[in-house]
Amino acid sequence: MSMRKDGLATREKILDGARDLVLRLGYSGMKIDHVLEHVGITKGAFFHHFKTKDELAKALLRRYASQDALIYAETREQAEKLSDDPLQQILIFIRLFEDMFSEMTEPYPGCLLASYVYELQQFDDETRSLLHETFARWRTLLQEKFELIVKKYPPKTPVNPAQLADGFTVVLEGAFILAKAMNDARMASEQLRLYRNYIELLFAAPAPAR
Amino acid sequence: MSMRKDGLATREKILDGARDLVLRLGYSGMKIDHVLEHVGITKGAFFHHFKTKDELAKALLRRYASQDALIYAETREQAEKLSDDPLQQILIFIRLFEDMFSEMTEPYPGCLLASYVYELQQFDDETRSLLHETFARWRTLLQEKFELIVKKYPPKTPVNPAQLADGFTVVLEGAFILAKAMNDARMASEQLRLYRNYIELLFAAPAPAR
DNA sequence: GCCTAAACAGACCAAACGGTCCGGAAATAT
DNA sequence: ATATTTCCGGACCGTTTGGTCTGTTTAGGC
């Protein structure tokens, strides 16, 4: 029942190290020996916690997805506390993410899901559907808000709430890529600001809280 | 001087096959033996055309970048023929890309540059700066237009032409990722439409040509 | 304090992988 | 025709890589 020794801490260290390396080298480029050196453990420790590299991949993905879901949920709650209006909630939501990224001094290391997507073929169905579900959950989260907004504030142009919701993820993922390629830490917050600007113009919102 | 035999055709076949596999498996996931089987050649043929796998990587990137530059240039020319107004030119430019992607029946296989970016650490400086330059060129291409537009049509909100230009690439790259993850071929054209919609609202353009 | 099982360390292994080498076919120059 | 060079097939090689195995240490249960 209780965690014996400190095995769980080692497991987390492995997951952290592997995540860092996957974001720098890709999943195939991340070699186990490299993780061992990076984390400061041995083969015995690693394979005690993970039967295979594939199992590490899945654990890594699951952890990342749940951590991300937590951030999304917390940010959403925070936005909902600051306003009752769905449009304002979305605008605050985006702005909170902008603030998160604007404080960074070097480019965001990237999204683990995206790095998996670009090596998609070598993962099994379980991993692929996990990716699908995670992105789908992000879509649903914002889609609900946009449906409320569309009803309350007639958009200047006919728009699809699901597409608008995907837009957030699209901008984030795209910005991560350009941020790394151009070595520009401000990319993510800048592009999110443009996305927020779009939402403002589309629904003709009053000037948002600064 | 002249190309003897048909070695150049084989070289192209290798590049095509390698590109396909990189987009499915990533660069590290793309194994040479797999390329040989996919293309239908042998080790002797491969290493006759490319000294190392790294050299293949660079050749692949250079070819992709120049092909992409050609598409951008042609689309830009086409847009400039259809209108003299910089704003209309941009809107047509985006729409032409939308049309390119709307005809697809399966998700766009992805951008080779992006797949390199997510394994960036394992490439040398030459490759990395080639990535940087390619993205920078795309930025400049649209930035010039946006600078003209901003002067001619005062935007509803203060905007940065370079950031607006990056927005196009950001949306494209992000859409490719979601398209693969969600297995949705329409993602790219849909998200480009939203980007175009943003530009329209921002500069309060008249309804674009349908 | 003793037992048990988790939590490692590290030598070892088989397969996969990038790359070499040499022989031969095929095309071109002379 | 012959020499020469490109082009390619395929056996071979050293290293890397994911994974195994055995032994040892360490932390709790009693």
> Which tokens hold the place of A177?
């890529």
pLDDT tens sequence for chain A (210 residues): 334 557 789 999 999 999 999 999 999 999 999 999 999 999 999 999 999 999 999 999 999 999 999 999 999 999 999 999 999 999 999 999 999 999 999 999 999 999 999 999 999 999 999 999 999 999 999 999 999 999 999 999 999 999 999 999 999 999 999 999 999 999 999 999 999 999 999 998 444 444
Task: Report the pLDDT value the prediction gives residue A6, as an integer from 0 to 100.
Answer: 76
Task: Give B45-95 pLDDT, tens digit per residue.
Answer: 999 999 999 999 999 999 999 999 999 999 999 999 999 999 999 999 999
pLDDT at A5: 57
Residues in A closer than 8 angstroms to B191, CB to CB, are 163, 166-167, 170
Strand nucleotide closest to residue B51 (CA to C1'):
C19
d(CA B21, CA B40): 14
Task: Using a CB–CB cutoff of 8 Å, tell me whether A167 touches chain B.
Answer: yes
Chain A residues with beta carbon closer than 8 angstroms to that of B186? none
Three-class SS state of A197: helix
- B116-125 pLDDT tens trace: 999 999 999 9
Task: Print burial letters for B21-43: b (CB count within 10 Å at least 16), e (below 16).
Answer: bbbbbbbbbbebeebbebbebee
Q: CB distance B118–A178 less than 8 Å? A: no
Residue B5: per-residue pLDDT: 56
What are the tokens at A157?
Answer: 């142009």
pLDDT band at residue B2 under the 50/70/90 scheme: very low
- Nucleotides of chain D within 7 Å of a protein C-beta? 5-12, 16-23, 26-29
Residue of chain A with shortest Cα separation from B186: A163
Spacing of B4 CA from D1 C1' in Å: 21
**Where along chain B do its domains lie?**
1-50, 52-203
| Crossing angle (nearest 10°) for helices A187-203 and A161-182 | 160
Domain A53-203 in CATH: superfamily? Tetracycline Repressor, domain 2 (1.10.357.10)
CATH number at B1-50: 1.10.10
CB within 8 Å: A28 and B26 = yes
Distance from C-alpha of B158 to C-alpha of B177, rounded to nearest angstrom: 30
Long-range contacts of A114-117 (CB under 8 A, 24+ apart): A114/A173, A114/A176, A114/A177, A114/B118, A114/B177, A115/A22, A115/A23, A115/A26, A115/A27, A115/B118, A116/A27, A116/A57, A116/A61, A117/B177, A117/B180, A117/B181
pLDDT of residue A52: 97
pLDDT at residue number A8: 85
Distance CA A163, CA A142 (A): 10
> Which of the listed CATH numbers 1.10.357.10, 1.10.630.10, 1.10.510.10, 1.10.760.10 matches domain B52-203?
1.10.357.10
Q: Which pLDDT value is given to residue B121? A: 96
DSSP B28-93: TT--HHHHHHHHT--HHHHHHH-SSHHHHHHHHHHHHHHHHHHHHHHHHHHHHHH-SSHHHHHHHH
Q: Give the pLDDT confidence score for residue A2 in this predicted structure.
A: 36
In Å, how far is A145's CA from the nearest CA of chain B?
Answer: 18
What Å distances lie between residue B161 and B142, B148, B167, CA to CA? 8, 9, 10
Given the structure tokens 């951030």, which residue do they identify? A71
